[in-house]
Amino acid sequence: MSKTLTWVLRHGSQAEGLAMRPDGYVRVDDLLKIPKMHEVDLEKIQDMVKKDAKGRFHLKSETADGNEVWWIRANQGHSMKEVKLELQPVQSVSDIPTGIAVHGTTREAWQIIREQGLSKMARNHIHLAQGVPGSGVISMRQSSQILVYVDVQKALDAGIKFSLSSNGVVLTEGDERGFLSPEYFARVETVKGDALPGWDHTPAIPRTQAKQSKKKAGKAKEVTAVTDESSGVA
């Protein structure tokens, strides 16, 4: 059911006839009325959000005309251009709590990425994680085979903009084509830590670094809880 919820909130609200606010929220009452969610109630939604280890959703309540109204949104990953999330601008690599921005992908996809760069494809942003699986932060899919570390500061200096989502995912729209060129790749290695020939520009990235900044990477007072199509961030 979480996959269905993710699809509806990131891509399918219009197809399902749901009204979505510019900040990406939809009313839970409206969400529960669509056929795809007929077996779900508010309590199940709350439990789903609370237990979602990837931090994909944000659930909150507001008061309207004296009545409590629940709203939910996906924290990132939208393909709908009209959605404008509340993102934290990254002015320097030091604004990223772990200092890491890495994209996980497959060997097959890497053959294209190494030539063209990372692409946002149908999404609004390219998604980068603040660490690898097991590092204590929201990361890429376990099926990732290749890790592409991005030199965020070099890209920033070249005019590429970055931001942080509310659940700590590093986002960028890339260049005017929607790509992040290979010239901004700091290092590329296998998930076992072996650098790919020609892509070992920087020393190995400390994989324990992200653990030290886990609390910084995800702050939320309300109930909070990334899927990159090429296995980047789920």
**CB neighbour class for 185 (10 Å; exposed up to 12, middle 13-18, buried from 19):** buried
Rg (CA), the chain: 18
pLDDT the model gives residue 136: 59
Q: What is the CATH number for 43?
A: 1.10.10.970
Q: Are residues 197 and 115 in the same domain?
A: yes
pLDDT the model gives residue 202: 67
pLDDT confidence bin for 131, thresholds 50/70/90: confident
The string of pLDDT tens digits covering residues 62-116 is 887 788 999 998 887 777 666 677 788 999 999 999 999 999 999 999 999 999 9
Question: Residue type for 21, please?
Answer: R
Q: Are residues 101 and 17 in the same domain?
A: no
Q: The whole model's pTM is what?
A: 0.64
Sheet holding 170-172, edge to edge: 88-90, 162-164, 170-172, 126-128
Q: Are residues 21 and 68 in the same domain?
A: yes
Domain count, the chain: 2
Q: What is the CATH number for 147?
A: 3.20.170.30
